[in-house]
Every structure is written in C-alpha cells, then in structure tokens.
Amino acid sequence: MIPVIDIFAGPGGLGEGFCSLTNVHGDRVFKIALSIEKDEFAHQTLTLRSFFRQFRPRKAPKEYYDFLKGKMNLDQLYNTYPKEAAHARKEAWMAKLGDTKAGFTNQIVDEKIKEALKGEKNWLLIGGPPCQAYSIVGRSRRQEKILDEKKDERVGLYKQYLRVLAAHNPAVFVMENVKGLLSAETRENAVFTKILQDLSNPAKAFYEDFGQNGNHIKCPGYKIYSLSVRADRFDDRRNPVYNQKDFIIKAEEYGIPQTRHRIILLGLRNDIDITPGVLRKKEPVGISQVLADLPRLRSGLSKQKDENESWRGAIRKISTKTYLRGVDAVVKEKILSQLSRIRIPTNGKGGLFVATEQSNIAYRQDWFTDKNIGGVCNHESRGHMDSDLLRYFFVSCFGNVMHRSPKLEDFPEALLPNHENVNQGIAERKFADRFRVQLANKPAKTITSHISKDGHYYIHYDPLQCRSFTVREAARIQTFPDNYYFCGPRTAQFSQVGNAVPPLLANKIAEIVFPIFEKLAVIEQSENRIGKPLTPVLI
C-alpha cells in the first residue's frame, strides 16, 4: 500500500477518502502511516477510525458495532483487540506542529515521520493548515484586511507543511484550505501568490525565515496542479500556469451535497514527469437524497421541561394572529396545514445511537451504509428556545413553498430575532439570513465549524421535525460513512464535522492520485531492468 502522512488531520476526512479507495480485489491502496492532530477529541476520532481500518473493508468485528450501539466503551473495545488498538494509537499522534515548548520539536516530528515511512521514498503528504485566519467571514468579523503573523500564529502554520515537504520530499502532496486565501494579504504580499511560490520551492521558503538560504536541504521542489482544470500553459521551467481561481474546488459540482468551495492543491515532485488528471463533474445532489432515510426526530426544549407535548404546544403558538400577521398567504397556508400534521416522532430526540432498519438512502448507498450497524449513531437533536422553534417552523415552511430561505425582511415582525442590529440587517441586507433553512432538493450551504455554536444556519427542511441538523445529518452532508463515529461531547463532534474535508470528495481526488503512483512504479521498474536502483512504490 502507498503510505500517507496526514498532518493537521482533524477528524480524518481527507485520509478517509484516500483509505477508502480499493483495487479490483477489494483491498485498500493507500494506508495512513501517521496522522497528526492537536485537538483532543479529533485525535480520539482519528484513533478510533485507525482501529476500524486495521481490519479489511467491511470486515470490522462485531465488537466495533457493539461500541456504536453503546453496549461497550472504548477501553473495552480496545482491550478486546489490543494489537489493533496499539497500532491505531501509534498511527494517530496528538501533537501540535511547531510547538517546541510542548516538546514537539522538528527533530521529534522528523523521527516520527521517518519511522512511519520505513524508508519509502514515494509517498503522499495530505492535510491543510488551520484556515480560520484566512477565511473571508473570519476576517470580516475581525475587521481585518491585512493579516499579521505576529498577532495570529495561524497565518504562518502552513510553513510547518513547507518544512515537512522540504525535509522529507514526498512524491505527491494534497493541500486544502479556504478560498479566502485568494483575497488574503499580509503586509508584504498576497498570501496565495506567496504560498504557491513557497510550495514550489519549500526548502528556500521555510529556511529563509531563519536567515538561511535552504541550499543545504536537498529538495527538488514541486509543480502545483489544479484538480478542476487541465493545464494548457507552462512556463519556461515546464511548471503549469493557471488562473488562481482554477484551484477552487466547488464540491457541489462533483457529487457532494453541499456548496463547499475550497482551495485544493495537488503537488508533484519536480523529478516526476507525469501530468495528472482532473475531477469529473457530476449532477448536483439535493440533501434530501442523503437525509430522508434517517430516523425522524423532534427538537429538544432548552428553557423549559423537555416533554413531547410541551414541544408540540410550543410550535402551535405560531397559529395565533400575532405570529401570522404579515405572512405571505401561501406561506401561511403551508404553516397551518403542517401544524395539523404534527406528530411526536417515534425516536423522540434521538441519541448517540438510534436503532433502525436497513437504510434506504437514495444516493451512494455503497458509500454511506453499513448493514452491520443496525441503526444510526451521533443522531441526537439539540434543544432550542420556544422563540427559535417558531422561527424554525416558519423558515422551513417558507422554504418548502418559496424554494429559498427567507431573509429577515420576509419574517413577520413578531418572529424577528431580538438583536440590536436587526433593523440594520433588514436595511443593509447584512447577515440577513441568520436563520437559514437548507432546501431539500438542493445541496446544503457549507457545513462549517460554526454549526457547533447554534443551529440557526442549518435548519432542517422538514417542518414536522422543527429543528436544526444533528451531527449525523451534518456528517451525511459532509459525506462521512455511517460507521464513522465522532468522539467527544456534541459540540466537539459538530466542530470536527464542520472542519473536515468531505471524504467522498477526497476519494475522488484519490482516484486521480493513485494512477500517478502506478506510473511511478512502472517507470522505476523499467529503470531497474536497465541496472538502476529501484525503491518500491507500493509497500
């Protein structure tokens, strides 16, 4: 298998996509040799998934599913399979790159990587440095136009990615980040232009910050390719030339049920004369295709006794004239018709595990489902205030008939949120969609880590459930398989899902990357036949 080093791994979405690629015999072709993540709960998730992958695809033991069902805890699971658990703990390393005060020196990191690679020369580096500093929304909230590395260490964290490239020279790398990179600037230069230059010559870029020229590091450098557009221009060094927007991957164009737009870069070591392919576009996928089969739930109540009838009674308040005054007639009719249909879902608010029959998901059943689960994990609704329940019911009914999410100007006055800047939001259309329903027949808006704070941007399209998304629903939209369990409290689970790369998108990227390694193997075997040394590509 081709070894993969995954840095800034999060819960492992990018790695999951690569490790899910199998050959004609059903065996994995990529294997995580080492994943590095600093967050405690994301690291727990990584470790558990590594444990799952110690077994052949679709051959995880019964005890793993007993854990999903809550019949045993993690310690009991790991104690049942100590060898696989030990391998998983070794593979998933909780560390903060660049934090020498915590003991994560370059020397220790390099020793870990070398040990994991076992001498392999042609391997894959994946990951993306923390991106919040570059995001357009984040900079807007902080009212920043110029990024300052001294004030925000995240601006320079990609340099740790550069250092690994410079010191270890993987054959291929895949780097992901927010599209806000394209407009971000430091006091010296445009961030993305500088990053492209740095990635093409990582040794020079990393070591010049320390007053060194990097010439003492043997790094051949990299050609940077787009995954969405074939290169039709090259510079005098045979490097591909693109418009910078060509590096943006619009996930909804490739069969991912959300409008997630991210920069994803594919780098090939300069001594590799292979031109990679590009992603193939697919028809858009509406979220109902990945959510409709999940057990129906009601929301919880956060400010009163949480009972079924209290929930139903809270929603029915919307039928009064106070709340319906000024509502469009078609929306009003929808609201009243849906109120008459409210029933308490069998599974209530859900839970860490909800038993159900075999899923009949409408999209990529082969990817999402696992017949051994016997239900759904991480599927528990959040509690909401009465006033928010009324807003959720209104926006979901509005979305059903208007085929869009309402703006603040569409709300009846009685349902406007109690914020000082509401009038400004209406007049200037600033954050005017702070309550956003995700439409059933369209890809969702981007699932981000903000989903951990509240559910206002991620309201379910079904008024009869009247709630925001669960962790499993967010994970479905992010294309995590149903047997992927997220560790930690629910807030941490949401953050992990929101920060991840969609595994199904990563799997499609893996389909492009794998042929590069196949061709490398053929080239090196040919060289070996004429007397040149061969380092095997596949281990």
DSSP conformation letters of 413-431: GGGS---TTHHHHHHH-TT
Label residue 134 exposed, middle or buried (CB < 10 Å: 0-12, 13-18, 19+).
buried
Give 60 or 219, the one with higher predicted confidence: 60
Interval 272-292: pLDDT, tens: 999 999 999 999 999 999 999
Rounded mean pLDDT of 429-450?
A: 86
Query: Are 413 and 387 within 8 A, CB to CB?
Result: no
Question: What does the radius of gyration of the chain's CA atoms come to, in whole angstroms?
Answer: 25
Bridge-based pairing state of the strands 92-94 and 30-37: parallel
- d(Cα 332, Cα 81) in Å, to the nearest integer? 57
Helices (H), 74-172: 74-80, 82-91, 106-117, 136-141, 158-168
Mean pLDDT of 410-438: 73
pLDDT grade for 138, boundaries at 50, 70 and 90:
very low
- Residue 234's pLDDT band, with cuts at 50, 70 and 90, is confident
Residues across the chain: 539
pLDDT of residue 189: 64
CA–CA gap between residue 453 and residue 491 (Å, rounded): 7
Token pair listed for 404:
């869009």
Least confident of 6-20, 381-395, 434-448, 518-532: 518-532
Q: Which of 136-150, 168-182, 450-464 has the lowest mean pLDDT?
A: 136-150
User: Is-contact 32 14, C-beta < 8 A?
Assistant: no
**Contact indicator for 405, 436 with CB cutoff of 8 Å:** yes
- Is pLDDT of 536 > 70? no
Q: What pLDDT does residue 422 have?
A: 61
pLDDT of 183 higher than 80: no
Helix axes 40-52, 82-91, angle to 10 degrees: 130
Model-level pTM? 0.92
Question: Distance between CA 342 and CA 315 in Å, rounded?
Answer: 9
Q: Give dist(CA 147, CA 331) in Å, integer.
A: 45
In this prediction, residue 140 has a pLDDT band, given cuts at 50, 70 and 90, of: very low
φ, ψ of residue 525 to 5 degrees: the values are -65, -40
Q: pLDDT digit string (tens) for 469-502?
A: 999 999 999 999 999 999 999 999 999 999 999 9
**What tokens does 31 get?**
């294997």
Q: Tokens standing for 27?
A: 């065996």
pLDDT of residue 250 exceeding 90, the answer is yes
The pLDDT value recorded for residue 362 is 96
Tell me whether residue 219 is exposed, middle or buried, using C-beta atoms within 10 angstroms of its C-beta: 0 to 12, 13 to 18, 19 or more. buried
CA–CA distance, 319 with 147 (Å, rounded to integer): 49
Please list the alpha-helical segments (H only) found in 174-307. Answer: 191-200, 202-207, 288-291
Confidence tier at 232 by pLDDT (50, 70, 90): confident
The whole-chain average pLDDT of the chain stands at 89
* 39 phi/psi in degrees, rounded to 5: -75, 135
Which alpha helices (DSSP H) does 370-502 contain, by range? 386-402, 422-428, 471-477, 490-499
Checking if the pLDDT of 531 tops 60, the result is no
Tokens at 406, concatenated: 């309402």
Helix (H) or strand (E) holding 173: strand 172-178
CA distance 446 to 151: 28
110 pLDDT exceeds 80? yes
Predicted confidence at residue 218, as pLDDT, reads 81
d(CA 356, CA 376): 7
Please answer whether residues 58 and 67 qualify as being in contact, where contact means their C-beta atoms are separated by less than 8 angstroms: no
537 has a pLDDT exceeding 50: no
Residues 23-56: tens digit of each pLDDT = 999 999 999 999 999 999 999 999 999 999 999 9
Q: Name every residue whose Cβ is closer than 8 Å to that of residue 109 and which is 6 or more positions away in sequence.
A: 36, 95, 97, 164
What confidence tens digit (pLDDT) does each residue in 320-350 have?
A: 989 999 999 999 999 999 999 999 999 999 9
C-alpha span between 68 and 47 (Å, rounded): 15
- Confidence bin at 303 (pLDDT 50/70/90): confident
Q: What type of residue is 143?
A: Q
